[in-house]
A and B are shown apart, each in its own frame.
Chain A
Amino acid sequence: MTTLPQHTDRKLGLVIDLDTCVGCHACVISCKGWNTENYGAPLSDQSAYGADPSGTFLNRVHSYEVQPEVGTAHLVHFPKSCLHCDDAPCVTVCPTGASYKRVEDGIVLVNESDCIGCGLCAWACPYGAREMDVAEGVMKKCTLCVDRIYNENLPEEDREPACVRTCPANARHFGDLADPNSAVSQLVAERGGVDLMPEQGTKPVNKYLPPRARDQLQGPEDSGEIDVLAPFLAPVDTGPKGFLGWLDRTLEKL
């Protein structure tokens, strides 16, 4: 059924820390690696070594330059995948029932054997979380690694999404956002986690932690100093004097 559940028992999702993400794209690679060989159709590439390579990805990392009114620009790396919205517009537009939101944990999935590849769900998603696989003709999206998180064949520390497991900066956190006492919920409360495009009314489960204020990023024109050692590094001699000064001036004239 492509009507949304009234209530989900849990809200499994990700919390992404924009302060600590270093933009290494390891989550992109581990996501593609896991999901191309597990749940559903593989994530195909077209012309991977050709002139115009492209492929299906469930997670992509953007980079933004944010210029405050005063001070130097910030560079923010911005991973983006399915936000497993409470009010997921991609689910209700599906004509076949292939798209659904699970009652037990709120994960939004595609049943690929029912998908006719009409692409309407990707149109309905404001975040670009769904991509049509060119080779398979079905819609692909983040499954929150549903085949890892409940997988008893994996060691317990691996039972989390591949992107979270691999992140070297610990910028990605996985947990139940319906439980106010969960580590992820506390992190969101502490750091003021936000929804992307709240005006779209999708009520995303995934939250983004905004970058903390940066107190060391003032340029020399703002603070007058580059470093605490700067006064000691200032040139002592403003110009050569005596014979060297004469030599310098003469050589300049030649």
Chain B
Amino acid sequence: MHPAPSVILFSSLSGLGFGLLAWLGIGLPAVTGWVAFVFFTLAYLLAVGGLIASMFHLGHPERALKAFTQWRSSWLSREAWASVAALLVMAAYGAGLVFFDARWWPLGVIGAALSLLTVLTTSMIYTQMKTVPRWHSLWTPANFLSLSIAGGALLAGQVTEAMVLLALAGVVQIVTWWQGDQALASSGTDMATATRLGDIGSVRAFEPPHTGSNYLLREFVYVLGRKHAAKLRIIAILLMAFVPLLLLLSPVLHHLAAALAVLSHAAGVLTARWLFFAQAEHVVGLYYGKR
């Protein structure tokens, strides 16, 4: 799949932002006043910034409001509802903390649940794609949610929780990669089922429909990054989990170490999210003899 920068930025940054909102919602850290204002500003910049980035990949952003209509069937529509609901509820809860020094905890808990629900709906947009076997697995939501919760803990300054959750997210990431590598082969879709010519013999793409490229090849048959995939995976897992863990364990330079840990984690998540798209094989590639 084509790794569109807008979608990678959106899912990574908003994942971190909604993760932070979830922690703030359950009162960890229990901040009020100006400190709460800073935390909420950061969370909203990440979450809303991500949402705005995702608008750039639409052909007609001016019609984006129509995306709220089909929540009965479409995960993208459900994501739109969940994100707006989470942002509104958390705004009310944040206003209580910042301006009234009051923690309206039911609002916070509901907001936290809605924030995680938003991340779940984002991941379900990919998980539902039977056409991309690598994504069509429960490991996709596990991957998105574990990264969001761990990154949120890191941003929220919950050091102990962050260390456990970062390690867990790293393990989930490795399992996600491992199962994803066998997904296409075990999906049962190959050139024989695509063409139904397998009964006659082995099928080879002889000539594509056009000498030039097309939308399908550009969008679904992205093979550029696969050469370096193994190296990028190591870089991603080091930056995402290993380096932040080491930094959190270091006894000195606590604030600087935490900031570096956040930056390293974000860079690792972005790398992993780039691979999530670049490595994903869409079955339409089989019609072109590619994967």
Do A and B actually bind?
yes
A–B complex contacts, Cβ < 8 Å, 10 sampled? A2-B72, A3-B72, A64-B203, A67-B204, A73-B201, A93-B74, A95-B69, A117-B59, A126-B284, A131-B214
Q: Does A183 belong to the interface (CB within 8 Å)?
A: no
A137 touches B195 (CB 8 A): no
Residue of A67, A96, A132, A198 ringed by the most chain B CB atoms within 10 A: A96
Q: Mark B45-76, 1 if CB is under 8 A from A, else 0.
A: 00000000000011111011011111011111
A64 touches B73 (CB 8 A): no
B74 touches A2 (CB 8 A): yes
Q: Does A167 belong to the interface (CB within 8 Å)?
A: no
B91-110 CB contacts (< 8 Å) to partner A: none
A200 to B202, CA, bound (A): 21
A127 touches B69 (CB 8 A): no
Chain A contacts for B161, CB-based, 8 A: none
A22-50 CB contacts (< 8 Å) to partner B: 25, 28
Q: Does A208 belong to the interface (CB within 8 Å)?
A: yes
A126 touches B197 (CB 8 A): no
Of the listed stretches A54-62, A148-156, A240-248, chain B binds: A54-62
Nearest residue (CB) in A for B63 is A116
Which of the residues B64, B196, B219 comes within 8 Å of A210, measured between beta carbons?
B196
B73 touches A2 (CB 8 A): yes
Interface residues on B, range: 35 or more
Apart from A128-B216, A131-B216, what 10 extra A-B contacts exist at CB < 8 Å?
A56-B215, A60-B209, A67-B204, A94-B73, A96-B67, A115-B60, A119-B57, A123-B220, A131-B214, A137-B60
Nearest residue (CB) in B for A65 is B206
Chain A contacts for B1, CB-based, 8 A: 123
Q: Does A227 belong to the interface (CB within 8 Å)?
A: no
A123 touches B282 (CB 8 A): yes
Q: Does A103 belong to the interface (CB within 8 Å)?
A: no
Chain A contacts for B200, CB-based, 8 A: 66, 68, 74, 210-211
Q: Does B129 belong to the interface (CB within 8 Å)?
A: yes
Which of the residues B125, B130, B201 comes within 8 Å of A74, measured between beta carbons?
B201
Chain B contacts for A91, CB-based, 8 A: 73
* Minimum-distance CB pairs A-B, first 6: A117-B59, A137-B59, A60-B209, A68-B201, A128-B284, A96-B66
Q: Does B194 belong to the interface (CB within 8 Å)?
A: yes
Q: Does A157 belong to the interface (CB within 8 Å)?
A: no
Q: Does A21 belong to the interface (CB within 8 Å)?
A: no
Q: Does B189 belong to the interface (CB within 8 Å)?
A: yes
Min CB distance B116 to A, Å, is 21
Which of the residues A75, A94, A124, A138 comes within 8 Å of B70, measured between beta carbons?
A94
Q: Does A52 belong to the interface (CB within 8 Å)?
A: yes
Chain A contacts for B70, CB-based, 8 A: 1-2, 94-97
Which of the residues A1, A63, A97, A123 comes within 8 Å of B131, measured between beta carbons?
A123
A69 touches B201 (CB 8 A): yes
Q: Does A166 belong to the interface (CB within 8 Å)?
A: no
A117 touches B60 (CB 8 A): yes
B215 touches A134 (CB 8 A): yes
Residue of A95, A194, A196 ringed by the most chain B CB atoms within 10 A: A95
